[in-house]
Amino acid sequence: MKYVIIGNSAAGTAAAETIRQQDPHGEIIMLSRDTNFYSRCQLHLVASGQRSPEQANFLPADWAQRYGVDLQLGRSVSEIDMARRLVRCEDGEQFAYNRLLLTTGSRSALPPVQGMDGPGVYGLRHMADAEQLRQVYRNQRHIVIIGAGLVGCELAEALVEVGHPSVSLVEMSPYPLPLQLEEVTGRRLGHMMQQHGINLYCGDGVTQVERNTDGTPAAVHLKSGKRLPADLIVAAAGVRANTELLTRLGAECNRGLIIDEGCRTSLPDIFAAGDVTECRDVTLDRVMSSAIWPAARKQGRVAGTNMAGGKASLQEHTGLRASVSLFGTSMVSVGAVFSPDPAWQKQIYDRTDSRGRLCSKICYSDSKGVLKAAILWGDISQAGLYGEAVLKRCQLGDLDPGDLPDYLMQAVV
């Protein structure tokens, strides 16, 4: 059996490991544009210089030998020939497959704004982005980051932590992390970021990038009419899934490739996993993409099992789970806190812990008392229990709004 995996990140490597566990002798070929293994989740730390590119590696050095994977790194796939079951690379090399897995992830999308295309504007998705940012950011006086989602916030924090004096963050929503937080915690975070020196512009958007005569950025103009000086711009306001290799062949696709619970695409013997896909999310019961590492790993394992002839299906799959720590405060969010059902009841429970930190729990439960979504702020040590309660549809119960029922779900204060 010949397995070809495109992509060597979260989903691709998880799939290779699983295939090898099931099929000791099959040939596993891993093709990737990336030239190294690295965890994208650490790119903001590489960009700020807090971690070296080597430290961002998430696999042991002998990984490929251990799992018997034929690594073909630095190769971009340009075409898939379904009729002849071949994968063609840009350099002309081609590889035959019996089962193919696409884990091509996504790329940064630049906001469609006048003046955005050109030098001085970066995304943060690949190691090359991070290395370039690391080389240039110190010499740029004003940095403007567009989008206060996970990547934007984490990058802004990292740049401020290493002492950059002028970091601005522009976000359309009224508060940062709009997909992970709600009004109260969101505004609290916004306040905290400002106190730590980030110039935060929420409820505002970039309308134009003003450029100097030499083409370098001069400023960004906001909807509100403000003009922010900008020497370096990072676009962290959206991604586009790298679906083209399969959409060209007619694969069913929304914004991501649609996969079933076995991670199969609509094309024969072609599987997909990770950020490039869309599938059913248990918390919302809706087909949607998941842009988190654990979800990509899980899809990779399910795809790998099925490719090798085993039986696995995505159970309790969700991309709506995030953990982020900013300026020493940790937060975890589970479920669709960004669009709570009007029928859900929202309970907020604040306390101060023994170290004087403000800790909050925000729980959303439906009319039957089942926990649907939750945010933990400050003390996150029990976050996994809340996640488990959402996935397993446990009742929040009649206890203190901060607690979950039964001893297992009890909040440990």
Partner 1 sequence: MRKKIIDVANCTGCKNCELACIVAHSPNENLQQAYKDGGIAAIRSRCKVELTSEGQNFPRHCQHCEDPQCVRACMSGALSKGDDGYVVCDTETCVGCYMCVMSCPNGFARPSTSGRRMMLKCDGCTSRDCMACVENCPTGCLSVEETDLPGDSVEYLNRPEPRESRV
When the beta carbons of 44 and 85 are compared against ligand FAD, the nearer one is 44
- Compose the 281-300 pattern: x for residues touching partner 1 by CB under 8 A, - for all others: -----------xxx--xx--
How far apart are CB 236 and ligand FAD at their closest, in Å?
A: 8
Strands 69-73 and 77-81: unpaired
Strands 2-6 and 27-32: parallel
- Compose the 307-346 pattern: x for residues touching partner 1 by CB under 8 A, - for all others: --------------xxx-x----x-x-x------------
> Which option in partner 1, ligand FAD, none does residue 99 bind, with CB closer than 5 to 8 A by kind?
none
If one asks whether residue 383 binds partner 1 (CB under 8 A), the answer comes out as yes
Q: How far apart are CA 94 and CA 4, in angstroms?
A: 11
Phi-psi region of 323 (alpha: psi -120 to 50; beta: other; left: phi over 0): beta
Amino acid identity, residue 166? S
> Which option in partner 1, ligand FAD, none does residue 408 bind, with CB closer than 5 to 8 A by kind?
partner 1
C-alpha torsion sign, points 255, 256, 261, 266: positive
Q: How far apart are CA 10 and CA 228, in angstroms?
A: 37
> Which option in ligand FAD, partner 1, none does residue 381 bind, with CB closer than 5 to 8 A by kind?
partner 1
* Residue from 102, 105, 108, 106 nearest 122 by CA: 108
Return the structure tokens found at 365. Answer: 């439960």
DSSP letter (8 states) at residue 233: E
When the beta carbons of 79 and 161 are compared against partner 1, the nearer one is 161
When the beta carbons of 145 and 219 are compared against ligand FAD, the nearer one is 145
DSSP bridge partners of 362: 348, 375
Phi-psi region of 112 (alpha: psi -120 to 50; beta: other; left: phi over 0): beta
Per CB under 8 A, contacts with partner 1 among 124-143 are none
Per CB under 6 A, contacts with ligand FAD among 116-135 are 124-125
Query: Contacting ligand FAD (CB under 6 A), which of 29, 64, 133, 150?
Result: 150
If one asks whether residue 32 binds partner 1 (CB under 8 A), the answer comes out as no
Which stretches does DSSP call E strand in 223-357? 227-229, 232-235, 239-241, 257-258, 270-272, 277-281, 286-288, 321-326, 329-334, 345-352
Residue with tokens 């990058």: 155
Phi-psi region of 204 (alpha: psi -120 to 50; beta: other; left: phi over 0): beta
Q: Number of residues interacting with partner 1: please give it, by CB under 8 A.
A: 40
> Which option in ligand FAD, partner 1, none does residue 11 bind, with CB closer than 5 to 8 A by kind?
ligand FAD
When the beta carbons of 41 and 370 are compared against ligand FAD, the nearer one is 41
Query: Contacting partner 1 (CB under 8 A), which of 60, 165, 174, 369?
Result: 60
If one asks whether residue 72 binds ligand FAD (CB under 6 A), the answer comes out as no
The span of 10-18, 21-29, 263-271, 375-383 binding ligand FAD (CB under 6 A) equals 10-18
Return the structure tokens found at 68. Answer: 């018997």
Q: What is the DSSP string of 76-92?
A: -EEEEETTTTEEEETTS
The span of 3-11, 18-26, 178-186, 395-403 binding ligand FAD (CB under 6 A) equals 3-11
Half-sphere exposure of 156 (CA within 13 A, CB side): 35
What separation, in Å, do the N-terminal and C-terminal C-alpha atoms of the chain show?
53
Query: Contacting partner 1 (CB under 8 A), which of 26, 27, 49, 59?
Result: 59
Q: Which residues are at the interface with partner 1 (CB under 8 A)?
A: 10, 39, 41-42, 45, 51, 55, 57-60, 292-294, 297-298, 321-323, 325, 330, 332, 334, 355, 380-385, 387-388, 394-395, 405-408, 410, 412
Q: Which residues are at the interface with ligand FAD (CB under 6 A)?
A: 6-12, 31-34, 40-41, 43-44, 76-77, 103-106, 124-125, 150-151, 154, 242, 274-275, 291-294, 296
